[in-house]
Structures are given as structure tokens and as C-alpha cells.
Amino acid sequence: MRCRLYSAALLLGVTCSLAAAADNAASYRSRALLCAQNKEWDQAVALYRKSLALEPNDAETHYNLALALKYQGQANAAVQEFSDAVKLKPGWSAAHYGLGAANCDAHHIEPCHSELRRAIELDGSNVAARRYFAAQLLRSNQIAEAIEQLEAAIVAAPQDVSIHSQLALAYLEGGSPGKAIPEFRRYLAARPRDVEAGYHLGIALGQNGDTPAALAEFRRTLAIEPNYGPSHESLGVALRRNGNTAAALHEFQRAVELMPRNPVALCDLGLALKEAGDDQGAIVNLRRALALQPDFERAKYGLGIALQQHGETAQAASEMREIRQLHQSRTSLTQSKKLILDGVEALKAERFDDAEKAFAESAKLSPGLPASYYYLGQTEQGLGHGTKAIEYYEQALKLMPDYAQAHMSLGILYAQAGQTQAALRELHEAVLCDPDLADAHYNFGLMLKSAGKQAAALDELRQALAIDPANSDARLLVSQLSSQLK
């Protein structure tokens, strides 16, 4: 995210210092801006806070403070300041963009997306917001919407060739190499020496069935940067598909030299050595690939064949058994995840019998999946069966001791049962496991308040509010406790 600092004053003759002759809001702001431009974030933050102490309703100062906090890595504090800027200037697209980006940094995906959408609604020409939003959507596998944002960004800023590269990558990720190719070409016409873009163009050409053009593009990128490992790896794949196994082996060897911890390159080298009759070399490289990625099915299968050809029949049989088990495990896990999604929908609709059936079937298929037991606990809790819910939460925590939601749900049940110390313990565990879980901070704060620990409760509720500024209950409690502790 790139945002600019907002300034209403020139900085001539101003120094970045906490002390100055004129202690007024404008002076603090001017010095803070200079500190920020020099990336002296601690001093910038301190000066912005001094300015806000004198003029608390200055939206631009809240915005600039939020930026400084964001660059410091204080995502939750940045969320609070951007929120204040938005409250003071609700129609300010840049502030909504900043709030969305800070929420993304804090891993609050839903408010991140909603604020970025709002920024774009307010200013359709906010290309930075569109591109940032597209990147976040791609991370969430929302490829179609990411493409829409990038296409709109190109319309808004046709002179910005870099958007074509981002759009091409989105098309490629969405399985449309034919659409990616012209976008990569438009970008590379302006920046022909971008090796990474050229490499991805080669991938798109290969996926689109044009192996000769893919070979030419990988070679072009290597002429620019001979030590670019991914191009050597992909050139090897293209040569192998073209029947040139000797040249492919050479490229895989070079790829592994450049990327010795890349399991795909190691696997391809191992398989190429096996085809060349070097079973011992194949075994060594395939085992190295599996040490880095134990569930790499193609490497495991190749290793089994190489061991068999090398006369190690017992080990070969063991590898083949593991492949069958791995395949069965993956199939069961996929089915379990589908059952959990179905169960969650049933739970939302309060169809508890359907939910319980789906979660129980998921647990049967994949006994090591903690989410099945967590949602069984949620179902029993919804039915009012507290004791049974506790058993399921404890089972989830045996499988995943840092499962924050399970700790939080246990804490709530213990609180309802009047077991104060057990509730405090579990809720404390929840915030330690996931410091960005707003509900955990909120419930821990409530429990601390009821236990008479007002100062600690205020701290937790403030953290809950920083993560989720829309929590009006937390805001009210923070106000009440702040007044009581004055």
C-alpha cells in the first residue's frame, strides 16, 4: 500500500524534533511530517499525538498518524486512527483505503474488503485501492472479482503499464492463459527486461499449448538473467515435453544449483536422472525433494519406481503403500472439509441435527482434523449441552493446542458455569494463541471486569476495540471503565 502524507504547511526551516519554541498543533504537525518523510517513525508518532491532544478532530492528522503507525508495524493502532479519520471525513476515499489496508495487515479480512470496496465506491479512479484490493482478492481465491478490479484500473489509468502485468497474473491464476498472454506482451513491450514477467509469459504460452514460443521466451529471460532459477526449471519442463531429455536434464541440474531447496526442481531432476538410467542419482534427489515436502506424491511415486529399478524392492513397496495412504488421506480430508462447510451452513440456520450429522461424519472420515470437534462443540453449545460441548472442545485442543476459538468457547462455557479461574485461564490462552481475535479480547475483558480486575479489563477491551472498531459494546465499556479508573 502506498499512501501520501497530507500537509497543509510548507516544511521550510522546520526540524524533526520533539521540542520547539512554538508548541501548537500546526507546529507539531509540520515537524511530524518531516520526521515521517525521513522515516523517523517513533518521533513522527509522538508529534502527531501531541498535535491531536490539542486538535483531536483533525482528520488529516489522524490519517497521517495511522500511516506512521502502519509503517511501524502497529496494524491495530493504525486501524483505530484510520477509523477516527473516516468518522471525521466519511467521504474520504484515501482514508477508507488506508483503513482497509491496515485491517489487511491485522488479518481482519472482512473489514479489509469492505473498506476497500467503500474507498472504490467513493472514488472509482482510486487505482491504488483497486490494485491493492485485487491483490487481497487473489489471496482469498476470489479471482473473478480481482480481474474486474484490475480491468477497471486499466480504464482509469491506461498509461500505467504495470497494471497489465498484474492483470495477466490474475488471468493466469484463474486458468485463462490465452487472456494472460496479450496482457504480458503489452507490459513487456514497455519493460522488456522484466525477467519475472517474461518467465510468467513463458508459463502462459506453455499452458496455452504453444511450446516453441514458451521455449523461446524462457531462453530470452535467461539471456537477460542467466541465473534465474525458475526459467531454467520451466525450460527443462518444456524441453522434456518436446522430447529433448538430455537438454532438459541439463536445465534441471542448473535449476537445482540455483534453487537447492526447491522440491519441484529436485523432483524434476530426480525423474530426469531416472529416465537417463542414473537410479542412484534419482533416489538421492527424490529423497531430498521429499525431505522438503513429505506429501509430494509425484516425487514419492518416482522414488518408488527408482528404488524398484535399483533392486530395493522392499523400500519400493513401502513408498507405493504410502502413496495409496496419502491419496486416501487427501480424499478423506477433502470430503471432511466439504462436510464441515455444509455443517456450518446448517448451524447458521439452527438446523442442529443436520449440523451434528455433518460434523460427526467429518470426524469419522478425518479423526485428526480439529475443526470437526470444534464445530461439534459449537453444535452442542447451541443445544445447551454444555458438558458435552466441553468434551468436544477439549478433543479439538488435544489435536491443536493453539486453537484460539476452542479456548475462547471453553472459557465462555466455564464463565457461564461460574468457574471463574478456569474461564480466565482459557480466555487468556485464547488471546495468547491469536492476539488478533477481537472476540477473545472482548470476552477476556468481560471476565476480568467481573473478577474485579478493572485495569486489566480496560486493556483487553481497548485491544478488542482496536481490532474491531465497530464493537459498540466494547466502546461503551471502555468509556465506563476509563471514567471509573480516573
Residue-wise pLDDT tens digits, 179-219:
999 999 999 999 999 999 999 999 999 999 999 999 999 99
The three-point CA angle 92-437-486 to 5° equals 75
CA gap 368, 380 in Å, rounded: 20
Task: From 297, 274, 295, select the one nearest 285 (Cα to Cα).
Answer: 274
Residue 5 has pLDDT above 60, yes or no: no
> According to the model, what pLDDT value does residue 475 have?
87
Residue-wise pLDDT tens digits, 432-441:
988 888 899 9
CA gap 148, 397 in Å, rounded: 41
Which are the contacts of 485, defined by CB distance < 8 A and separation ≥ 6?
454, 455, 458
Q: How far apart are the first and last CA of the chain?
A: 39
* Mean pLDDT taken over the chain: 89
CA gap 430, 354 in Å, rounded: 28
CA gap 286, 315 in Å, rounded: 14
Q: Where are the alpha helices (DSSP H) in 349-471?
A: 352-365, 370-382, 386-399, 404-416, 420-433, 438-450, 454-467
CA gap 100, 136 in Å, rounded: 10
Tell me, what amino acid is at 182?
A: P
DSSP designation for 160: -
Q: Which residue has the higher pLDDT, 205 or 18?
A: 205
Residue 326 has pLDDT above 80, yes or no: no
Residue 13 has pLDDT above 60, yes or no: no
Angle between helices 195-207 and 229-241 (to 10 degrees): 20
> According to the model, what pLDDT value does residue 43 have?
93
- Work out the percent of the chain whose per-residue pLDDT is above 70: 92
**259: alpha, beta or left? (left if phi > 0; alpha if psi -120 to 50):** beta
| Model confidence, pTM | 0.66
Q: How confident is the model at residue 21 (pLDDT cuts 50, 70, 90)?
A: very low
- Work out the percent of the chain whose per-residue pLDDT is above 90: 66
CA gap 146, 120 in Å, rounded: 13
Ramachandran angles phi, psi of 26, nearest 5°: -65, -40
Which are the contacts of 269, defined by CB distance < 8 A and separation ≥ 6?
249, 252, 253, 255, 256, 285
The three-point CA angle 58-108-383 to 5° equals 125
Q: How confident is the model at residue 10 (pLDDT cuts 50, 70, 90)?
A: very low
